[in-house]
């Protein structure tokens, strides 16, 4: 057995020296960082302000108008309340860098963006068709939910093992799809827990998600243009001891700005909760952390933010957040979760009780029957604009 290697360029005069590059070459690990530093310095020198929580966000305010610039590696998205600011920014960037103006945003990183007079529709329909074809599910029988409401997934030690590489590829493809399809968030995250040793039962569950996508390829998130306000609203829920393997609970949260769904999560909790109240309290903590991040984003845009409401369907968790004296019920809860109390006391956060039937985050904690699932899906703003 032998190996071949390319020694690269060697100088006969200085065989032990290396070249120091004056600029980062495209494709090297240093290139994105060097490009960001160059672009960041250029924008800051021209009066832009960097976002305090998102350092790839740049803002410029001119009188009553605002220009927003979002950077993703070597792609730049920008928009303004004044078209003249957009035109001026485009000319400035083209003069300084070798860039091409792509026009109005229609397609970006696998996302289809339809900008209409009454709102914006974000979907990944082409991406869905591609993955269905890739995994030979484009001719399967469609399903009306991503997961059966009676399913109980576990490690299935006696089950037949399946191709781990294929299973992980399917999970990876579906995880990217959750960026515009919150309706499959819980199902994908549940199946993702079994990537180390996937069995046929797990693969069947993943194929069920693909069959659901086959029947709903054109669903996406609708963002109405004329929102009544920019108030932040959070929903928090948990499924107590929902994991059959380690009996940990699942936290589900979603956040709205005005009428628009902007973030969501479905995550297994790190510790075993000893009660439903504790599981709900930990889920509220995750929701509070996210809404505080969103609050700073809104403040960066120069918009006022009042007290943020979080909807929870567990009265005990709400009481724990307001009363620090409940030692017998809370002494075993990790102290890091009690930052909720500080923000409640300051008036930053208000927890409100909501009926279980109106708890939108329920879709992120457990598989649901079709009627409940479809109702919550629509209320989240996941629709088909062609229907």
pTM (two decimals)? 0.85
pLDDT in tens, 146-171: 999 988 889 999 999 999 999 999 99
What are the two backbone dihedrals, phi and then psi, of residue 316, each rounded to the nearest 5 degrees? -65, -40
Which residue numbers in the chain have pLDDT < 50? 1-6, 327
What pLDDT sits at residue 54? Answer: 86
Are the C-beta atoms of 144 and 212 separated by less than 8 Å? Answer: yes
Q: HSE of 201 in the Cβ direction (CA atoms, 13 Å)? A: 14
Q: What does the H/E/C string look like for the chain? A: CCCCCCCCCCCCCCCCCCCCCCCCCCCCCCHHHHHHHHHHHHHHHCCCEECCCCCCEEEEEECCEEEEEEEECCEEEEEECCHHHHHHHHHHHHHHCCCCCCCCCCEECCEEEEEECCEEEEECHHHHHHHHHHCCCCCCCCCCCCCCCCCCCCCCCCCCECCHHHHHHHHHHHHHHCCCCHHHHHHHHHHHCCCCCCEHHHHHHHHHHHHHHHHCCCCEEEEECCCCCCCEEEEEEEECCCCCCCCCCEEEEEEEECCEEEEEEEEECCCCCCCHHHHHHHHHHHHHHHHHHHHHHHHHCCCCCCCEEEEECCHHHHHHHHCCCCHHHHCCCCHHHHHHHHHHHHCCEEEEECCHHHCHHHHHCCCCCHHHHHHHHHHCCEECCCC
What pLDDT sits at residue 6? Answer: 45
- Name the region of 6 (left: φ>0; alpha: ψ -120 to 50; beta: rest): beta
Q: Maximum CA pair distance of the chain? A: 79
Domains within the chain, CATH numbers bracketed: 1-103 (no CATH), 123-215 (no CATH), 227-354 (3.30.420.10)
What pLDDT sits at residue 37? Answer: 87
What pLDDT sits at residue 1? Answer: 41
pLDDT in tens, 60-88: 888 888 889 988 877 888 888 888 888 88
What pLDDT sits at residue 326? Answer: 57
What pLDDT sits at residue 324? Answer: 61
């Amino acid at each position: 057995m032998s190996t071949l290697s390319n020694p690269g360029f060697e100088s006969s005069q200085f065989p032990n020296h290396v070249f120091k590059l004056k600029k980062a070459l495209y494709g090297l690990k240093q290139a994105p960082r060097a490009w960001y530093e160059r672009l960041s310095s250029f924008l800051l020198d021209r009066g832009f302000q960097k976002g305090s929580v998102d350092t790839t966000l740049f803002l410029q305010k001119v009188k009553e108008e605002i220009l927003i610039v979002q950077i993703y590696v070597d792609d730049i998205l920008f928009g303004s309340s004044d078209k003249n600011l957009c035109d001026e920014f485009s000319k400035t960037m083209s003069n300084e860098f070798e860039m091409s103006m792509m026009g109005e945003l229609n397609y970006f990183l696998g996302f289809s963006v339809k900008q209409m007079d009454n709102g914006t529709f974000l979907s990944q329909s082409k991406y869905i068709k591609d993955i269905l074809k890739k995994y030979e599910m484009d001719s399967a029988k469609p399903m009306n939910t991503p997961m059966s409401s009676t399913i109980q997934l576990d490690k299935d030690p006696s089950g037949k093992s399946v191709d781990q590489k294929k299973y992980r590829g399917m999970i990876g493809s579906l995880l990217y799809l959750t960026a515009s399809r919150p309706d499959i968030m819980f199902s994908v995250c549940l199946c993702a827990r079994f990537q180390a040793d996937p069995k046929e039962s797990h693969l069947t569950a993943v194929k069920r998600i693909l069959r659901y996508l086959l029947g709903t390829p054109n669903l996406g998130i609708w963002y109405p243009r004329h929102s009544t306000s920019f108030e932040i609203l959070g929903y928090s829920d948990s499924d107590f001891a929902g994991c059959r393997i380690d009996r940990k609970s699942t936290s589900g949260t979603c956040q709205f700005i005005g009428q628009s769904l902007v973030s969501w999560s479905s995550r297994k909790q790190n510790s075993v909760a000893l009660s439903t109240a504790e599981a709900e309290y930990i889920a509220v903590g995750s929701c509070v952390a996210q809404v505080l991040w969103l609050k700073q984003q809104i403040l960066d845009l120069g918009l006022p933010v009042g007290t943020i409401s979080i909807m929870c369907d567990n009265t005990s968790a709400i009481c724990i957040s307001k009363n620090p004296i409940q030692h017998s019920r809370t002494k075993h809860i990790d102290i890091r979760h009690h930052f909720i109390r500080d923000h409640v006391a300051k008036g930053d956060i208000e927890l409100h009780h909501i009926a279980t039937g109106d708890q939108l985050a329920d879709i992120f904690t457990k598989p649901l029957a079709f009627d409940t699932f479809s109702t919550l899906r629509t209320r989240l703003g996941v629709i088909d604009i062609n229907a």
